[in-house]
Amino acid sequence: MARPLSQIRERSRARAQARAAARAELKNTAYEIFIGALSILSIVNLVLVYLVAGDAALELVLSVMNALFSAIFLGDFIYRITTAPSAGRYFFRGFGWADLLASLPFPQFKILRLFRLLRVFRLLRELGPRTVWTTLVKDRANSALMTLLLMGVLVLQFGSISVLAVEEDADGANITTASDALWYTLVTISTVGYGDRFPVTNAGRLIGALIIIVGVGIFGTFTGYLANLFLGPRKAADENAEADAQALAVSDVEGETAPEAATPSLASHAAKGVAAGAVSGAVDAGVAVTSTAGADVTAAGPTTTARASDDATQRLHELLAQSEQTMAEIKRLLAGATP
């Protein structure tokens, strides 16, 4: 009976380690969802290419977007393999080879982007929808940035296709080619607005207004994200570096002055002990003398009592003077030990 239980425990431990390793290869939740959404869009584009096979302008727009996706996925592959706990495990067991082939500009390999969807599905299965939603809400900066970047990609593609479809055959139109549509959409998203390309139809102007709204949101959020990225962490890093430098300086000073400061340190502790003993002795002596004087008042008379009181007072002054000298010696030793 013990052997099956041990085997079950080993298998459970192995599964837990495998889940932990798979989880370690996953990146930020919002980033994973962003890459998964781009993978879906790239696969949709493969279908659209066959559907618009006779329209050269739409084919050019989709080709440009596929080239953009290839660049993004290649950067994603480089990012994953350089940050993975085990590059070999990611490449051979984590579908890294599929990520590399799918990022190359070859149409026959683009179907391998389905493996990226498997990674997102694994993320959702490991964390659960509620945990994913909680993570996205807490990490609002990255979530908002990835959402707006995804919207920017969607607007760049479908905005260009829509503007081209509406303006291509309109009277007096100056957006008549795929390059015109892509240029107009890109300039409008970036809120630059050169004015060399503009819609002349009401539908085109409506599409342009939507593109402007999305562009303002994207670049506003992107600016805030960059400000937080370059200013916030740098400040924290500077504080940590300053604290480390101070700690190192203190350590160096202690290491260099250890032989010299050992004697003053011991002397200061000894002097403190002497001072404390002196004060305690003075107090004890005063109390003892006072007690003795009070006990002998009726036996020795006024003269003996006065003499005992004077002796106690003189002894107390001597002890206090010794204590003051000791404290002065302590201060001098501490001042000499301080760099």
User: Which one has a higher pLDDT value, 290 or 163?
Assistant: 163
For 195-262, the DSSP string reads SSS---SHHHHHHHHHHHHHHHHHHHHHHHHHHHHHHHHHHHHHHHHHHHHHHHHHHHHHHHSHHHHH
Q: Which of 204, 153, 202, 154 is nearest to 176 (CA)?
A: 204
Residue 292 has what pLDDT?
A: 44
Coil vs helix vs strand at 339: coil
Last residue of a domain, one of 218, 242, 266: 242
6 in any annotated domain: no
Higher-scoring residue by pLDDT: 147, 250: 147
Question: Domain of 304?
Answer: 258-337
Query: Of 207, 242, 277, which residue sits at a domain end?
Result: 242
Q: Which of 83-87, 205-209, 227-231, 237-241 has the highest mean pLDDT?
A: 205-209
What is the Cα–Cα distance from 164 to 166, expressed in whole angstroms?
Answer: 6
pLDDT computed for residue 288 by the predictor: 45
* Cα(232)–Cα(217) distance, integer angstroms: 22
- The mean pLDDT of 248-275, rounded to a whole number, is 44
Mean pLDDT on 18-24: 54
218 and 177 within one domain: yes
Please check whether residues 98 and 188 belong to one and the same domain. Answer: yes
How many domains does the chain divide into?
2
Same-domain pairing of 89 and 60: yes
| Range from 80-84, 275-279, 308-312 carrying the lowest mean pLDDT | 275-279
252 pLDDT higher than 50: no
Same domain, 194 and 290: no
In a domain, 9, yes or no: no
Task: Among 185, 211, 242, identify where a domain stops.
Answer: 242
In a domain, 248, yes or no: no
Mean model confidence pLDDT for the chain:
74
Distances in Å between the alpha carbon of 134 and those of 26, 118, 313?
17, 22, 76
Q: Rounded to whole angstroms, how far apart are CA atoms 66 and 109? A: 12
Apex 45 CA angle, 40 and 50, nearest 5: 135
- The residue that leads in pLDDT, 256 or 83, is 83
**pLDDT value of position 183:** 93
pLDDT of 318 reads: 79
* Residue 271 confidence (pLDDT): 44
Q: Are 39 and 114 in contact (CB under 8 A)?
A: yes
Q: Are residues 306 and 159 in the same domain?
A: no
Does the pLDDT at position 316 exceed 80?
no
**Residue 245 pLDDT > 90, yes or no?**
no
Q: 35 with 121, same domain?
A: yes
Q: What is the CA 175 to chain-centroid distance, rounded? A: 44
Between 110-119, 148-157, 268-277, the lowest mean confidence (pLDDT) is in 268-277
Same-domain check for residues 156 and 293: no
Are 234 and 269 in a shared domain? Answer: no
Do 198 and 276 lie in one domain? The reply is no
Q: Which of 65, 5, 72 is nearest to 34 (CA)?
A: 72
Does residue 250 lie in a domain region? no
| 37 in a structural domain | yes
User: CA 333, CA 213: separation in Å to the nearest integer?
Assistant: 72
Asked, for residue 5, whether it belongs to a domain, the answer is no
Helix, strand, or coil (residue 285): helix
Mean pLDDT on 5-25? 64
Q: Taking 70 as the threshold, does the pLDDT of residue 174 lie above it?
A: yes
Indicate whether 192 and 52 sit together in one domain. yes
Please report, as a single letter, which amino acid is at residue 23. R
For residues 262 and 238, state if they share a domain.
no
Q: Lowest-confidence range among 2-11, 163-172, 282-291, 298-307?
A: 282-291
Tell me the CB-side half-sphere exposure of residue 336, using CA atoms within 13 A.
Answer: 14
Q: Give percent of the chain above pLDDT 70.
A: 70
pLDDT reading at 206 higher than 90 = yes
Q: What is the 3-state secondary structure (H, E, C) of 54-76?
A: CCHHHHHHHHHHHHHHHHHHHHH
3-state secondary structure of 177: coil
Nearest to 123 by CA among 31, 44, 43: 31
How does residue 158 score in pLDDT terms, banded at 50, 70 and 90?
very high
Q: What is the mean pLDDT of residues 77-84?
A: 88
Does residue 14 lie within any of the structural domains?
Answer: no
According to the model, what pLDDT value does residue 225 have?
76
Same domain, 57 and 110: yes
Whether 318 is in a domain gets the answer yes
pLDDT single digits (tens) 179-204: 999 999 999 988 887 888 889 999 99
What pLDDT is attached to residue 94?
Answer: 75
What CATH number does the domain containing 149 carry? 1.10.287.70
**Predicted local distance difference test score (pLDDT) of residue 250:** 45
Please list, residue by residue across 233-254, b when 16 or more beta carbons sit within 10 angstroms of its beta carbon and e when fewer do. eeeeeeeeeeeeeeeeeeeeee
